[in-house]
Amino acid sequence: MAFTVSAGTVAAIVATRTQPAELTTIGCWSTATTPPTAEVVAVGWDGSDPIGVCGEVWVSNGFATIQTSEASALVACVNDAGAVAVVPGTGTSLCATVGLTIFDDVADPEFDATRSAVQQIEATLTEDACLPLETAATAAEEILAENGLTDWSVKLADPAPAADVCITAGIDSAARTVFLVPGI
């Protein structure tokens, strides 16, 4: 089971074509090898076309180890950790060749609702906001309900932290759970 705090949220759906588990970041790879032997540039992701996002990394010369101002042909895959990995090359078989699965870009309302809730929860439960546990729990529950994720649960830190401790969220979409934990 994948579990990370805040910006590394998860929503695992595993098949031969897959939605990513990492909903807010993608990796732009400079080579198509697993594990990547060259450079991976992690960029924020809002659900837009990952090839377009990584194409911008290529065009803007975003790799430190290679000099380029042109986008290579790119293929969107998903790695074992559930993150989108955009690799240079062509053809859907490229993902399997380097040990990845093809990224499933088919519209999925549940996936979109999950992404929206994850982004809202992460934006609400930040160190800057410094919400106490009960306020954070209420906010997370409201966000889940607003996004129609009624089969999700919110788990509180145990033991409960002191009232002046900021709360952040770890989200496990496979388990449909938001974990509220003391901020790091």
- The pLDDT value given to residue 75: 93
- The pLDDT value given to residue 25: 85
Residues of the chain with pLDDT under 70: 1-18, 21, 106-108, 127, 184
- The pLDDT value given to residue 88: 93
Determine the Cα–Cα distance for residues 162 and 145; give it in Å rounded to an integer.
27
| Residues paired with residue 5 on neighbouring β-strands, in sequence order | 170
Burial class (CB in 10 A: 0-12, 13-18, 19+), 63: middle
pTM beyond 0.85: the answer is no
- The pLDDT value given to residue 76: 92
Contact 26, 49 (CB under 8 A): no
Determine the Cα–Cα distance for residues 184 and 167; give it in Å rounded to an integer.
9
